[in-house]
Amino acid sequence: MGKYFGTDGIRNKADYFLHGEFSYRVGLSIGHVIKPDMVVIGNDTRQSGMAILKEISRGLIDSGVIVNHQLDATTPMIAYYSAYKKVLGIMITASHNPYTDNGIKLFIDGHKTKDQIELMLEDFIDNGKPLIVKEKGAFNQINFVLEAYLSFIDSLDLNINNLRVGFDAANGAAYKVAPLLFSKYLKDVMGYNIEPDGKNINVRCGSTSIEFLQNKVIEDKLDIGFAFDGDADRCLIVNKNGEVIDGDLMMYIYAKYMKKYQLLNYDQVVLTKMSNPGVIKAFEEENIKVSLTDVGDKYVFKELEDHNYTLGGEASGHIILRHLFHSGDGILLALYMLKILSEENINLDNSLAHIKKYPFQMINIKNVDKSVLNQPLIIEEIEKVKKIFNKDYLVLIRPSGTEPLVRVTMSYKDEKILNEQINHIVELIKKEGVI
């Protein structure tokens, strides 16, 4: 990670972007380092978004760049148009974070920027001197990003049964496009949290507070519900009983369908090391191979790209259906799930009933010296735990990147043995890692 860019663009407190002309210099840096003729730019519903948009645009225009702003854009809409027209895309969003945060995501030809470009941008933000351009750029309010995205969804040939469906837009970026699309393909649809006020994005709603949708599915007697995050690149499902279907279980449905129609390249799916061993076992029983990456969508994406796989994602609901689109898109995930359920005439709950998730525990150990994980004693004891579990297990012990904290995550079919082993490792780390 660089000085400003993290794993998913720049993200910080909203005030940070408007302090000391920071956003203006981000705009200048893009104009001088990447040198696009024009950009498409969107923002989610945070109250800080329009002020940041104004400052970035000012920097771009002063660099001679044409700025095209799409109102009410989701991150996937910007990523799609960037790939479709081979232009630079910018999204102002902090995704699932609270409204007090904001961020900037960049897309070059639809793909997130590489580390080398980000380092050059950071250097210009701090040290670069603006050049005098022959002609300043301009700012345009446009709608062609939305139109291109709607055409893309139309091309998927969605024939969906008349289910009673609900969605939770998290008072975020999907608040306009989600109702537009769901009402196009469904007669009986309920939209929730589609009234953003600048401050209510992700507040007790959306994929990070899925209890809201769980209650609504039961109350309103829905067949299925979909929850998005603030910029709509994630999706989680709630079944008719109010139970959460996480990203790993969603991928099980996608993978079986895609394998049947030769869309699942190499019969392989990409999950992360946080995936439940019971779910991984279910994939293997369907003769679907599993790759496990580090946690983070950029690692999943790299594995997909490196090996030309077509399906991968995280339990959080950030999933890439790469045969359709190279990036995560919550609305696409929801509509594609409805297409599969309709075409195959399958019941979501029956299709997943045989999958037994293993008991799962995650313990955060605070105020501990993270270097304790390098001690031979700790390494040896972790290896002993793995031997005790033998197979079909999860053992992931890693330091936090931002605070003095170690996360211990384990999953195993026998809850008694799981509890014994995780408690043993946690106590050992506490004892040996005293600060």
Active site residues: 95
Long-range pairs of 283-292 with CB within 8 A, sequence gap ≥ 24:
283/252, 283/255, 286/252, 286/255, 286/256, 286/259, 288/255, 288/256, 288/259, 288/264
Q: With left for phi above 0 and alpha for psi between -120 and 50, is residue 312 left, alpha or beta?
A: beta
Q: With left for phi above 0 and alpha for psi between -120 and 50, is residue 35 left, alpha or beta?
A: left
Q: List, in order, residues 6 or more apart from 429 with CB less than 8 Å away.
A: 365, 368, 372, 373, 378, 397, 406, 408
DSSP-based helix, strand, coil % in the chain, nearest 5: 40, 25, 35
Asked whether 270 and 293 are in contact (CB, 8 A), the reply is yes
Neighbour count for residue 180 (Cβ, 10 Å): 14
Neighbour count for residue 308 (Cβ, 10 Å): 10
Strand partners, 245: 237
Angle between helices 247-260 and 330-343 (to 10 degrees): 50
Q: How buried is 341 (Cβ within 10 angstroms: 0-12 exposed, 13-18 middle, 19+ buried)?
A: buried
Asked whether 191 and 178 are in contact (CB, 8 A), the reply is yes
* Integer Cα distance of 358 and 418 in angstroms: 10
Q: Kind of pairing, strands 360-366 and 319-321? A: unpaired
Location of structure tokens 């990670």: 1
* Integer Cα distance of 104 and 111 in angstroms: 14
Is the alpha carbon torsion for 12, 16, 233, 321 positive or negative?
Answer: negative
